[in-house]
Structure 1
Amino acid sequence: MKSLVTGATGFLGSAVMRCLLTAGHEVRVLARPDSDRRNLENYPVEITEGDLRDFESLKRAVRGCENLFHVAADYRLWVPDPETMYEINVTGTRALIIAAHQAGLSRIVYTSSVATLGLNPDGTSADEETPSDPATLNGYYKRSKYQAEQLVRQLTHDHQLPLVIVNPSTPIGPNDIRPTPTGRIVLDTIAGRMPAYVNTGLNIAHVDDIAYGHLLAYQYGKPQERYILGGDNMTLLQILQAIDEINGTQHYRISIPINVMLPMAWFMEKMALLTHTEPRATLDSIRMAKKLMFFSSEKAERELGYRYRPAIEALKDAVKWFKDNDYCN
């Protein structure tokens, strides 16, 4: 069987690609002509060039495939102009799903995000049924992914598509070549550039476990359902201390109130407009940190057989990969 994977040049998408190859799938990947293809090197995949903003290229990409794993997304916590992000995450997703429907694909797995879900004010783990208020979503990324998921759910309902939604939490591990915003936290901690922290928390999962969750969703997921693919809930301080332990270093850190961080993030964003580099902290990321972003994968465990390794293993693999590939020099 042939499966099309979008986003395979990136972090999570490449892990999904590798997982499908191991499972015996013939894999075609959609890649932009100017994309960094290091994550595709030495893998027996068919590459078709295209762009989520080019419908004709999407029709060519799905032709001859049985399955679609739509992992690609513009994942940035700061953008000077959000138009491209919405074109890729929302409009591009709609175009790809329509192309897949027209081509008669037998199975579609759409990669959403826990960013689309609600959070519990008391810090307990949210799940697929935790209500989300779109008015409270901080940042263009979260809002674009929320809009995309709502659109996908409507298309699935209207056309009775064989589509399953997965909501990954925070993937950590090898092959984060860009790196992602979370990967930069790991790198900054290794380099001793994290002298302070805010009282927030994340759900950390190994990227390969989340990728395997995509395969399980393909095999066992129910159409029109969504499944959180996550791992361990950890405070930011616990994450930083775990990386210190892995790295064999020890740092004293101070806790900074979120209201103090907001003006600092504002200044970093203004500087980023001048330097054309992504700021280390953004207003949206600090606003997101006001709540513990804790989630439960119990539904995926129960219905898909999803399992995840301890978060410390994901952090160890990330640290090792960054060091082995000279990101820390």
Structure 2
Amino acid sequence: MRAFITGGTGFIGANLVRLLLQQGYVVKALVRENSCLDNLTSLDVEIVRGDLNDRHLAQEMSDCQVLFHVAAQYSLWQSDRELLYRSNVLGTRNILSCARQAGIERTVYTSSVAAIGVNDGVAVNETYQSPVDKLVGYYKKSKYYAEQEAVKAVQQGQDIVIVNPSTPIGALDLKPTPTGEIIVRFLQRKMPFYVDTGLNLIDVKDVAWGHILALEKGITGDRYILGNQNLTFAQLLDKLAKITGLPAPKSTIPYWIPYSVAWLEESIFARLGKQPTIAIDGVRMSKQKMFYDATKAVSKLSLPQSSIDQALEDAVGWFSQRVKDEE
């Protein structure tokens, strides 16, 4: 089986590429011209240079049977609104169109729980949908509209299964993701306070399995939340403290403080040429506990539910090793 994958250099994509190779797939990976290939080094993967909006991708996919569209632009900066729409919405539209032209038999589209939204700390499942105007920030909105591109393609007869990962953790978090950044800051002792929020965590290896299981067992047009354990931020920090032996911050910070800093940086200082360090939308998201229910994926796809503690240990070990390698 030949698989075409977008986003193979990213966190989820790199773990998925490894699993596909282990399962005997031949893998072709689309990467941007300026992408770092560290996550694909020494892997038997055919590299295709290009962009999500390239029209010639149908030709590149023509010798593959399945597509995993994992790539997405992630940014919480309000100035990246157009980039997010172009990459996530228009890019998804183009990729799915190229897949249809190439005769791809089945596609797994990587959406996000960001597209589903939240419900005041109540764990929601695939049947829930926040009104789009309630989705915080242009990134979440772009993932919602990108998922609608997949829905429209299904209505036109394309075989697509949608997966909605929650917050993956583990190794190969190269950029890193916002959650990876939390772990890095914790290790560097740069987190004196924390915000009162919550996340649904899942081992990134389970997310990779969820993609293959969706390919094999998913119902066309259905969405499947790939998640595991809901944790408050305080519970997450306590787990990191036990793993690392470092003390967890004990005090929360009032919402208005990071919001005020973010507003000043993005609204005022950025216009003066200063690179902002805190995103307004990131602070706004932190007001919400982002809890999800992955029962459907567990029962219908047999999604693994590996230990979150072990996944955090994997992440801590990987980040610690990267720091040593860079010294």
1:51 matches 2:51: yes
Are 2:218 and 2:301, in contact at CA under 8 Å, matched by a contact in 1?
yes
Match of 2:252 among 239, 250, 255: 255
Are 1:76 and 1:181, in contact at CA under 8 Å, matched by a contact in 2?
no
Which segments of 5 or more consecutive residues in structure 2 lack a partner in the other structure?
Answer: none
CA distance in 1, matches of 2:296, 2:74: 25
Match of 2:195 among 179, 195, 198: 198
CA distance in 2, matches of 1:223, 1:278: 42
Counterpart amino acid of residue 9 in structure 1: T
- Give the aligned partner of residue 22 of structure 1: 22
Aligned-residue offset at 1:6 = 0.4
CA distance in 2, matches of 1:10, 1:79: 22
CA distance in 1, matches of 2:108, 2:279: 31
- Give the aligned partner of residue 129 of structure 1: 127
- Give the aligned partner of residue 181 of structure 1: 178
Identical-residue share of aligned pairs (%): 42
Counterpart amino acid of residue 139 in structure 1: G
Are 1:80 and 1:273, in contact at CA under 8 Å, matched by a contact in 2?
no
Change (3 A) 1:278 1:23: farther
CA distance in 2, matches of 1:188, 1:166: 29
Counterpart amino acid of residue 28 in structure 2: R
TM-score w.r.t. the length of structure 1 is 0.94
Counterpart amino acid of residue 78 in structure 1: W
Are 1:30 and 1:61, in contact at CA under 8 Å, matched by a contact in 2?
no
- Give the aligned partner of residue 297 of structure 2: 300
- Give the aligned partner of residue 138 of structure 1: 136
What does 1:16-165 align with in structure 2 at a 5 Å threshold? 16-56=16-56, 58-78=57-77, 80-121=79-120, 123-157=121-155, 159-165=156-162
Classify the secondary structure of the residue corresponding to 1:9: coil
1:316 matches 2:313: yes
Are 2:100 and 2:158, in contact at CA under 8 Å, matched by a contact in 1?
yes
Let me know the Cα RMSD of the aligned residues. Answer: 1.7
- Tell me the alpha carbon deviations over residues 126-174 of structure 1, each in whole angstroms, 9 at most, x when there is no partner: 10011311011111110100110112101111x2211000000001111
1:212 matches 2:209: yes
- Give the aligned partner of residue 9 of structure 2: 9
CA distance in 2, matches of 1:268, 1:238: 30
Match of 1:228 among 216, 225, 228: 225
Change (3 A) 1:233 1:275: farther
Q: How many residues align?
A: 325
Aligned-residue offset at 1:264 = 1.9
Aligned-residue offset at 1:251 = 3.7
